[in-house]
Amino acid sequence: MPGLVSCPGGLIVIGIISLSFVHIHSEIWSNEVSDVQFGRLGSKVTLVCRGTHGGSLVEWRLNGSSVIPWQTLSSGGSLTLLNAQLSMEGNYTCHDHRGALLQTIKLRLGNLPGFLNVSCHVPNHYKIFCSWKQTVNTNLPTKYISSYSTSKGVNAEPCVQEQLGVNECTITDHYFWDFKHLVNITEINPLGSESTIIRVNIHKLLKPDPPEAVTPEEVEGQPSYLLVHWRAPASWPDMSEAFPLTFSLRYRPVGSNYWSTLQTEENTSMMITDALAGHMHHIQVRAQDALINYSQWSEWSHVVQAQPWSEPLANTEEPTEEPSDDTVFIPSIMATDKLPDPSADDSGSLGLLIFLGLFAGVITATVFTILILLRVRQQRRNSATKQELASMMVRLALSVFSPHRAPS
C-alpha cells in the first residue's frame, strides 16, 4: 500500500506501508499484565475463555459486574463485542456455572499504526536529526525502529534514539559525500507495524543554526556607520576548515518596513555604511553553507539593535566639553574639589589661617590684659567680691570662645 505525503520543505516523502497483521506477542510489551488482549477500535472483538471444557456455558462479567451495558454475542466459551469502542475497555472475567473465576482478560482497544509525519533537519555536515509524529492516535503502547541507508544500497544502519518516548533519532558518522539517504521509521504496536520511509538529501536539507553573539557597535565620528560582529553557530564544525559559511546581514531603522541586506563570504563582521543617522536600527544575521548553494539559509538571528555614533549635543551642560586654555588641566581642577592641594589655587585657605592666627593673638592679649587689670583692682579694692569676679571671668571666657553666641 504505497502512499505519498509531502513535507513542509517541499521534500517528497515516500511512505511504504508494510502492515503485518501478525499478532505481536507480549514479550515486547512485558510491562503489561499477562492476560491482556488488544483489539482494534470499530471492529469485532472476540474474547475466548480458556478454562472452558467443550461447549459448556460460561458467565462473563465486566469489572466484576455481570451486567455488560452493550450488545455482545456469547456462544460457547467466547464473548464477541460487535463494534469495539474505547468505553468497552476493562477487565473481563469468565466464570463457570458455580460462579468460580476461570479467566481474567484485560481488554485494551486502539488503532493500527498509521503513517508517520517524519522530518529531518541537518544543522551541519556531521549530524542529521530526524523526528516524527503519529498521524493516527493509536491509543496503544508503541515502539519505533529507526534506521537509515544510503542510496547506494548499503546495509541499514541504526538512527540512534537517545531517549525512549521522545520520537527523535540522530544519524552521526554518516558518509557526507554520499548525501542521499533513506530514513526508515517503523512504528510497531500490538496490532501491527508500519514503516514510513523518507528520502533525505542532506545537501538540500543542510540548514545551519543561526549565527550567535551578534554585536553591533557605533563607529566614532561616523554617524551613518555601524560595525557588526558575530560568531558562526556553535553547532557548525570549524569554519576555517572544509566548511566555509556565507553570511547575510539585514538592517533597517526601527519603524521602517524595508530591510537593507549585505552579504559576506566567511567574514564574521561587516560594516554598515548607510545607516540612518540618529536612528535606532534593528540588525539580524543568517548563515548558509558557502559551497552548496542549494542548501538552506539558517533562520535569522535574534534582532539586536544599535544606533550609529552621533555628534554630542552643543547645549549639554558639561564644562569639559568646552576646551579653553584656562581649563586644560581638567583632572587637577577636579582633584582640588576632593583633596586640598597646598600647591594649587589655595590663597583663600591661607588667608583664613592668617586671620585665625591674628584673631587668637588678639583674644589672648585681651584676656591677659583683663586679668591683669582685675588683679590690680582686686588688690586695690578688697571689698569687691570674688564671686563677681569669677562670674565675669566665665562670661569673658564664653564670649571669647564662642564669639557669635551671646553669652547668657
Ligand X SMILES: *[C@@H]1O[C@H](CO)[C@@H](O)[C@H](O)[C@H]1NC(C)=O
Stretch that binds ligand X, among 73-81, 87-95, 278-286, 390-398 (CB under 6 A): 87-95
Look at strands 168-171 and 180-189 and give their pairing: unpaired
Long-range contacts of 150-159, Cβ-Cβ distance < 8 Å, separation of 24 or more: 150/174, 150/175, 150/178, 150/180, 150/181, 150/182, 151/178, 151/180, 151/181, 151/182, 152/178, 156/184, 159/128, 159/130, 159/183, 159/185
Look at strands 101-110 and 36-40 and give their pairing: parallel
Q: Which of 62, 202, 249, 285 binds ligand X (CB under 6 A)?
A: 62
Residue nearest to ligand X (CB): 90
Asked if 117 interacts with ligand X (CB under 6 A), we say yes
Residue 93 or 246: the one with the smaller Cβ distance to ligand X is 93
Stretch that binds ligand X, among 61-69, 223-231, 249-257, 292-300 (CB under 6 A): 61-69
Q: Which of 1, 2, 4, 8 binds ligand X (CB under 6 A)?
A: 8
Asked if 197 interacts with ligand X (CB under 6 A), we say yes
Q: How many CA atoms lie within 13 A of 315 on its CB side?
A: 0
Residue 88 or 226: the one with the smaller Cβ distance to ligand X is 88
Residue that the C-alpha cell 509524529 belongs to: 133
Could you tell me the smallest distance in angstroms from the CB atom of residue 282 to ligand X?
Answer: 28
- Give the containing element (helix H, strand E) for 131: strand 127-134
* 385: Cα separation from own chain's centroid: 94
CB-based burial of residue 276 (10 Å sphere; 0-12 exposed, 13-18 middle, 19+ buried)? middle
User: Is residue 294 helix, strand or coil?
Assistant: coil
Stretch that binds ligand X, among 89-97, 324-332, 334-342, 387-395 (CB under 6 A): 89-97
What's the farthest any 2 CA atoms get from each other in the chain?
Answer: 156
Residue that the C-alpha cell 456462544 belongs to: 75
* 343: Cα separation from own chain's centroid: 59
Could you tell me the smallest distance in angstroms from the CB atom of residue 112 to ligand X?
Answer: 16
Residues in the chain: 408
Residue 18 or 310: the one with the smaller Cβ distance to ligand X is 18
Asked if 114 interacts with ligand X (CB under 6 A), we say no
Asked if 106 interacts with ligand X (CB under 6 A), we say yes
Asked if 184 interacts with ligand X (CB under 6 A), we say yes
Q: Which of 11, 17, 90, 136 binds ligand X (CB under 6 A)?
A: 90
* Segment 202 to 231, residues that bind ligand X, using CB under 6 A: none
Could you tell me the smallest distance in angstroms from the CB atom of residue 8 to ligand X?
Answer: 5
Distance CA 396, CA 389 (A): 10
Could you tell me the smallest distance in angstroms from the CB atom of residue 64 to ligand X?
Answer: 6
Asked if 195 interacts with ligand X (CB under 6 A), we say yes
Stretch that binds ligand X, among 40-48, 88-96, 224-232, 285-293 (CB under 6 A): 88-96
Q: Do the Cβ atoms of 210 and 301 come closer than 8 Å?
A: yes
Residue 94 or 270: the one with the smaller Cβ distance to ligand X is 94
Asked if 93 interacts with ligand X (CB under 6 A), we say no
Residue 116 or 228: the one with the smaller Cβ distance to ligand X is 116
CA nearest to 203, candidates 124, 287, 298 = 124
Residue 11 or 219: the one with the smaller Cβ distance to ligand X is 11
* 402: Cα separation from own chain's centroid: 70
Distance CA 186, CA 17 (A): 9
* Segment 15 to 44, residues that bind ligand X, using CB under 6 A: 16, 33
* Segment 118 to 147, residues that bind ligand X, using CB under 6 A: 119, 133, 135, 145, 147
Residue 124 or 131: the one with the smaller Cβ distance to ligand X is 131
Applying CB under 6 A, what is the total number of residues that bind ligand X?
A: 23
Could you tell me the smallest distance in angstroms from the CB atom of residue 106 to ligand X?
Answer: 5
Q: List b or e across 210-238, with b for residues whose CB sees 16 or more CB atoms inside 10 angstroms.
A: bbbebebebbeebeebbbbebebbeebee
Asked if 63 interacts with ligand X (CB under 6 A), we say yes
Could you tell me the smallest distance in angstroms from the CB atom of residue 321 to ligand X?
Answer: 58
Distance CA 36, CA 141 (A): 12
Binding residues vs ligand X (CB under 6 A): 5, 8, 16, 33, 62-63, 69, 87, 89-91, 104, 106, 117, 119, 133, 135, 145, 147, 184, 186, 195, 197
